[in-house]
């Protein structure tokens, strides 16, 4: 009798153990199965990142975007630079050099300013602050001019940089020509450029009624230049 009971206990324990093993297998199976889609999700992400990279590499078609840039918005964006830079004609150098007439001018354009060795090295490779060079620098200063003493993280939003560069140009560099629209910069950018342009046009359309006369006049200035193109 007691022997039967013992066997019952042993059988029970055995069944219990088997049950636990089954549960563990099920659970680990679930874990295994949830892991698989995670990995797939990771691989699906990779092409997205590649596409994002392609957008960044694509050069901006200045001839298309500058004439419709929002200079007033660019002036507002310049607030981030003002901690270190003045831009008025004859303005003093601060932590950074005065930026009047910097667009299209020589790198290290202020004779009295103590630039870094990194900037001197950059000047040897790219002596002029053309639109592309400024754009690269403002996107990520320390990535473009490694070791620069301009401690500023950079501006990743392309439209903000376009507006900002249009504003910088309006400060003493109106004479620096806007290049003709460049089809070579457009094909891959077709979907990219269209919304940006539409947004800029929308801003321009609302500007004459909404913005003060000064902003409208500045826009007229920039738009007066490109007809040559």
Q: Is 83 in the site for ligand HEC (CB under 6 A)?
A: yes
User: Using CB under 6 A as the criterion, what x/- string covers residues 2-41 for binding ligand HEC?
Assistant: ----------------------------------------
Q: Any contact of residue 180 with ligand HEC (CB under 6 A)?
A: no
Contact flag: residue 196 with ligand HEC (CB under 6 A): no
Stretch of 4-12, 68-76, 143-151, 216-224 contacting ligand HEC, by CB under 6 A: 143-151
Q: Does 128 interact with ligand HEC (rule: CB under 6 A)?
A: no
Query: Closest distance between ligand HEC and the C-beta of residue 99, in Å?
Result: 6
Q: Which CB contacts under 8 angstroms, 24+ apart, belong to 67-70?
A: 67/178, 67/222, 67/223, 67/225, 67/226, 68/197, 68/200, 68/201, 68/204, 69/162, 69/163, 69/165, 69/166, 69/200, 69/222, 70/163, 70/166, 70/200, 70/203, 70/204, 70/207, 70/219
Shortest reach from residue 161's CB to ligand HEC, in Å = 8
Size of the site for ligand HEC (CB under 6 A): 27
Measured from the CB atom, is 62 or 129 closer to ligand HEC? 129
For residues 64 and 21, give the distance between their C-alpha atoms in angstroms, rounded to a whole number.
Answer: 68
Decide: is 149 part of the binding site for ligand HEC (CB under 6 A): yes
- Residue 209, exposed/middle/buried by CB under 10 A (0-12, 13-18, 19+)? exposed
Helix axes 213-224 and 158-170, enclosed angle (nearest 10): 90
Single out the segment in contact with ligand HEC by CB under 6 A; choices: 2-10, 43-51, 95-103, 209-217: 95-103
The tokens of 35 are what?
Answer: 């892991």
148 touching ligand HEC, by CB under 6 A: yes
């Amino acid at each position: 009798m007691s022997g039967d009971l013992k066997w019952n206990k042993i059988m029970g324990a055995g069944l219990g153990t088997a049950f636990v093993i089954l549960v563990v297998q099920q659970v680990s199976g679930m874990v295994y199965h949830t892991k698989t889609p995670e990995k797939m999700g990771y691989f699906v992400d990779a092409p997205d990142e590649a596409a994002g990279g392609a957008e960044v590499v694509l050069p901006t078609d200045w001839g298309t975007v500058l004439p419709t840039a929002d200079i007033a918005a660019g002036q507002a964006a310049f607030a981030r630079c003002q901690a270190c830079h003045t831009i008025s004609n004859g303005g003093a150098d601060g932590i950074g050099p005065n930026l009047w007439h910097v667009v299209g001018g020589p790198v290290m354009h202020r004779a009295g300013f103590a630039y870094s060795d990194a900037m001197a090295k950059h000047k040897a490779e790219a002596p002029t602050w053309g639109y592309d060079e400024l754009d690269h620098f403002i996107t990520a200063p320390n990535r473009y001019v490694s070791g620069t003493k301009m401690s500023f993280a950079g501006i990743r939003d392309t439209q903000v940089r376009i507006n900002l560069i249009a504003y910088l140009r309006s400060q003493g560099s109106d004479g620096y020509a806007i290049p003709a629209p460049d089809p070579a910069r457009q094909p891959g950018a077709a979907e990219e450029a269209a919304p940006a342009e539409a947004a800029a046009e929308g801003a321009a359309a609302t500007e004459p009624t909404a913005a003060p006369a000064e902003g409208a006049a500045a826009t007229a200035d920039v738009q007066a230049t490109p007809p040559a193109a």
